[in-house]
Amino acid sequence: MKIAATVEEIRSAVKAWKKEGLSVGFVPTMGYLHEGHQSLMQKAVSENDRVVVSIFVNPMQFGPSEDLESYPRDLEKDAALCEASGVELIFHPEPKEMYHPDFSTFVDMHGLTESLCGKSRPSHFRGVCTVVTKLFNIVQPDRAYFGQKDAQQLAVIQQMVRDLNMDVTVIGCPIIREADGLAKSSRNSYLSADERKAALVLSRALAVARQQLADGERDAAKIRSAIAETIQAELMAKIDYVELVDARTLQQVDSVERPVLVALAVYIGKTRLIDNFITE
- Name the residues annotated as catalytic: 37
Q: 3-class DSSP state for residue 262?
A: strand
Q: Alpha-carbon dihedral of residues 77, 83, 88, 89, nearest 10 degrees?
A: 0
**Radius of gyration of the CA atoms of the chain, in A:** 19
DSSP letter string, 33-71: --HHHHHHHHHHHHH-SEEEEEE---GGGS-TTSSTTTS
Cβ burial of 170 (10 Å; 0-12, 13-18, 19+) is buried
Cα distance between residue 153 and residue 130, in whole Å: 12
| Helix residue ranges, H only, the chain | 7-19, 35-47, 75-85, 95-98, 117-120, 124-139, 151-163, 193-198, 201-214, 220-232
